[in-house]
A = this chain, B = another copy of it.
Amino acid sequence: MPQGKPTTVPNDGLTTRQRRRRPILAVHTGPGKGKSTAAFGLALRAWNAGWPIGVFQFVKSAKWRVGEEDALTALGEYHAQTGTGAPVTWHKMGEGWSWIQRAGTEQDHARDAAEGWEQIKRDLAAENYGLYVLDEFTYPMKWGWVDVDDVVETLGNRPGSQHVVITGRDAHPSLLEAADLVTEMTKVKHPMDAGQKGQKGIEW
């Protein structure tokens, strides 16, 4: 609804223009599909706006975002060749980040998650990206591997114009409270309910 009019005008001392340019903290949560997919769709807009994109993949499995990774990496290469768009940096947290615990102990996973978050903090402090996609970042928050208060405070105090989108189920209430934009994806119908398994190009 870009053409819409806000229903309220807050008494925050900002002009409409200043308010419009505030960076967004978005959360895509809920049990339905499209949480991450919509975040990567948002990355297309960011790319076109010329904002460097940093993806931090708190992966379930190394292969699951391969379609998005290859396509966004290609957009980064296109930018390097033509100057159009923006660079794309894809951070994979490795198998240790899996919430389906394929290898390593829970302590290993917790340490990996904490290290990933420390990297994000350094990038935020350095204003390295215009859009951060923190894919499935709700899970390490939920499991206490990353301190929720630290996340909320760090994001709330991030400098400059750095947009952040966090995906995953069961977003912490404090994160929802801090977010500017929250969308819940609800499953109405899924092919798996009719006995159909996931397929390349659709599910990953």
Which residues of A pack against B, CB within 8 Å?
1-10, 12, 16, 19-22, 24, 28-30, 32-34, 36-42, 44-49, 51, 60-61, 64, 66-68, 70-72, 74-75, 77-78, 84-85, 100, 130-131, 163, 176, 179-204
| Residues in B whose Cβ lies below 8 Å from that of A197 | 2, 4-6, 16, 19-20
Whether the Cβ atoms of A1 and B198 lie closer than 8 Å is: yes
Whether the Cβ atoms of B193 and A7 lie closer than 8 Å is: yes
Whether the Cβ atoms of B42 and A71 lie closer than 8 Å is: no
Whether the Cβ atoms of A186 and B189 lie closer than 8 Å is: no
Whether the Cβ atoms of B45 and A195 lie closer than 8 Å is: no
| Residues in B whose Cβ lies below 8 Å from that of A6 | 192-197
Closest chain B CB from A201 CB (angstroms): 3
| Residues in B whose Cβ lies below 8 Å from that of A184 | 32, 185-186, 188
Whether the Cβ atoms of B189 and A180 lie closer than 8 Å is: yes
Whether the Cβ atoms of B2 and A64 lie closer than 8 Å is: yes
10 pairs from A and B in contact (CB 8 Å cutoff): A24-B191, A32-B183, A34-B183, A37-B42, A38-B41, A44-B71, A47-B71, A48-B71, A180-B189, A184-B188
With contact pairs A37-B38, A42-B37, A75-B74 given, residues A49 and B201 touching in the complex (Cβ less than 8 Å): yes
| Residues in B whose Cβ lies below 8 Å from that of A30 | 186
